[in-house]
Structure formats: structure tokens, C-alpha cells
Amino acid sequence: MKAFFTVLSVLLVGVLASEEYCYDDVVRACKTTNKLSTSPINCTAKYGAIDGVEEYLQKYVNHHFIRSFEYLLMSTHYANYEKNRLGFEKLFRGLSDETWHDAIELIQYITKRGGEMNFQTVSNDIISEEQQDANFELYELQSIAKALDIEKKLAVEAHRIHGEATRKNSKFHDPEISSHLEHEFMPKHRDTIRKLAGYTSDLSTLLNGPDSSLSLYLFDEYLQKQ
């Protein structure tokens, strides 16, 4: 029993001390007589649950890069002289630009919270996509359908990270991270998803008519003006 209390008090002291990590380290470092302080001072920007959520955020960044390059391929396909659909090119190029810039913003966010970026970590389901010989040279409606699926995946992934950050467990609970995702990412995804879903509705009625080529031509003209 006594031992238990000792352990508990040691733990408590540990917890209390950790609140003033940085200050204590600085005091020690400034006292060092040989001028060169050897131990690193623990004055990082880390607080809350960034350690618990960091890996999910890193993956999220890498998924953005993968999607950005895929959108670039889709855009490229529409810009060749046989497809020659400049509106579709613009649509996918815009999605590629957006995911690219979101990736940079996410890296900046991770480092704002004292974390770091790891470019190697990717979710298994996205690694397995690669084995299925992905095709990005698609017909108009198919390509928008694919983009809609990609955007939904990204949106749901943000929900999942948000879920991790709202777990009532101090290792994960971090309302700042969930709030950042809520305000910086979720509305953008909502709008893109709505836009793409609207396009698939339009195209599936337009392609159900007597002249789908003319419909596609006019729809492409419309996309160019967006």
C-alpha cells in the first residue's frame, strides 16, 4: 500500500513538473558553468494531443499529394487534341491545384502544432489502389464520378481525424485540431462535393438525349466559364 502511494506521488510530481518543463530546463541551462549546455531544453510548441493525431495528419497530407497528381493526369487527358475539352481540363486542373495547396497548408499546420512531416506514410487502402492499375483517361461522366469519389474520401478522412481528436482521452482530445479541420477543410470539401454531384446530375440527364456529343460540347463550354 505504501509502495502504491509512493508510486502515485512520484507520478503526480511527474505530472506537475511537466507543466514547467521548459522553464526548469532553461533555468538549468543558464546555470551551466561550462557555457555549453549539453541537455536539450524541452521548449517545443507541442501541447494537447498532437502526438496522437500527427500520424493521421501526415497521411492526410500524402493522400493530398497523390490525389493532386491524379487530378493533374485527368486534366492532361482532357487537354490532348483528341479529347480537346478545355472546360474539363480546367475543372481537373483546379482540383489538382487545390489539393496541392491544401497539402502545403496542412504541412504548415502540423508544424504550427509542433509536429513534423513524414512523406513516407500512406494508408493501406490507398497503397492497394496502386496495384489495381489506376486509369485516369476516362470519358466525361466517368471522370467526374471518379473525382466525386476522391473528394468524398478526402472529406471522410477529415471526419475520421476529427473523430480521433475529439476522443475524450487526453492522448487524443484536442479541440484545436478538430476546430481547425472543421473550419479550414470541411466547408471546402462540402462545396466541391456538391458541385461535382451537380455536374453528374446534369451530365446524366444530358447524355440521356439524342445527341450526347453536342451536349458534352456545350457542357464543356459551360465548364470553361466556371
Partner 1 sequence: MKTTVVALCVFLSCSIAIGSAVLQCEHKELDIPKEWKDMVDPCVHSMRGQIEEELKAAMQYMAMGAHFSKDTINRPGFAKMFFESASEERQHAIKLISYLLMRGELTSRVSELIKRNLAPKTTSWVTGVEALKDALKLEASVTKKIREVIKVCEDNPTKYNDYHLVDYLTGDFLDEQYHGQRDIAGKVSTLEKLMEKHGALGEFLFDKKLLE
**Residue 140 three-state SS:** helix
Residue among 66, 164, 61 nearest 118 (CA): 61
Compare residues 193 and 206 and give the one whose CB is closer to partner 1. Answer: 206
Residues of span 3-22 touching partner 1 by CB under 8 A = none
- Shortest Cβ distance from residue 101 to partner 1 (Å)? 8
> 123, 166, 212, 224: which one contacts partner 1 (CB under 8 A)?
212
**Burial group, residue 133, by CB count within 10 angstroms (0-12, 13-18, 19+):** exposed
Q: Binding segment for partner 1 among 9-17, 20-28, 133-141, 181-189 (CB under 8 A)?
A: 133-141
Site pattern 112..131 for partner 1 (x: CB under 8 A): x-x-xxxxx---------x-
Tell me which residue of 86, 69, 192 sits closest to 136, measured CA to CA: 69
- List binders of partner 1 among 145-184 (CB under 8 A): none
Tell me which of 6, 32, 135, 169 binds partner 1, using CB under 8 A. 135
Count the residues of the shown chain that bind partner 1, applying the rule CB under 8 A.
Answer: 43
Selected binder of partner 1 within 142, 169, 170, 226 (CB under 8 A): 142
Hunting for cell 549539453 — which residue is that?
38
Among 8, 12, 22, 134, binds partner 1 (CB under 8 A): 134
Q: Which of residues 58-87 bind partner 1 (CB under 8 A)?
A: 65-66, 69, 72-73, 76-77, 79-82
Helix (H/G/I), strand (E/B), else coil: 173:
coil
In angstroms, give the least distance from the CB of 184 to partner 1.
16
Which lies closer to partner 1 via its Cβ, residue 19 or residue 116? Answer: 116
Q: CA–CA distance from 194 to each of 114, 140, 141 (Å)?
A: 34, 17, 15
C-alpha–C-alpha distance, residues 96 and 92, integer Å? 6
Would you say the C-alpha torsion 140, 68, 94, 163 has a positive or negative sign?
Answer: positive
* The residue type at 212: S
Q: Cell numbers at residue 225, please?
A: 466559364
Longest dimension (CA), the chain: 88
CA–CA distance, 93 with 96 (Å, rounded to integer)? 5
Q: Which is nearer to partner 1, 5 or 132 (CB)?
A: 132
Positions touching partner 1 (CB under 8 A) are 44-46, 65-66, 69, 72-73, 76-77, 79-82, 100, 104, 107-108, 111-112, 114, 116-120, 130, 134-137, 139-142, 204, 207-210, 212-213, 216
